[in-house]
Amino acid sequence: MEQPAERSGPVVAVTVVRSGGFAGLKRTWEATAEDQSSAKDWLGFADSLPWGRVPSQDATSADRFVYRIVIVVRSEVRHEATLPESELTGGWRELVDRVQQQADAPGGSEPHCQA
């Protein structure tokens, strides 16, 4: 029996893109899980978030940050949300913090900025 081809790349990738603010800069962080155990931890946490109840951006917050969060599992988008900074609380804040910590750790992916 033929085995399915191995897919390259991480099992799970969690990307956070922060945009807006006074200068309008965009910054990206990415955390990845290369093995099933780490992927299970990331997905267990991510799946518990209220993806279907993401609030829209408040029109009065033009110069505030907006966060776009994307969870990709084996090259397929599993979850995607865009939140204004004012709604980045609780589990959303924890998810963003975890991604930033992994990306900023030695050996993590380099966060990058663009205008």
71 - beta bridge partners?
14, 79
- pTM exceeds 0.95 for this model: no
Residue carrying structure tokens 């980045």 = 88
Q: Bigger pLDDT: 113 or 23?
A: 23
| CA 105/CA 99 separation, integer angstroms | 10
Instruction: Give the ranges where the chain is alpha helix by DSSP (H).
Output: 36-47, 90-104
Could you tell me the residue ranges of all domains in the chain?
12-114
Amino acid 26: pLDDT: 92
pLDDT in tens, 14-73: 999 999 887 778 999 999 999 999 999 999 999 999 998 866 656 556 678 999 999 999
| CA 5/CA 93 separation, integer angstroms | 36
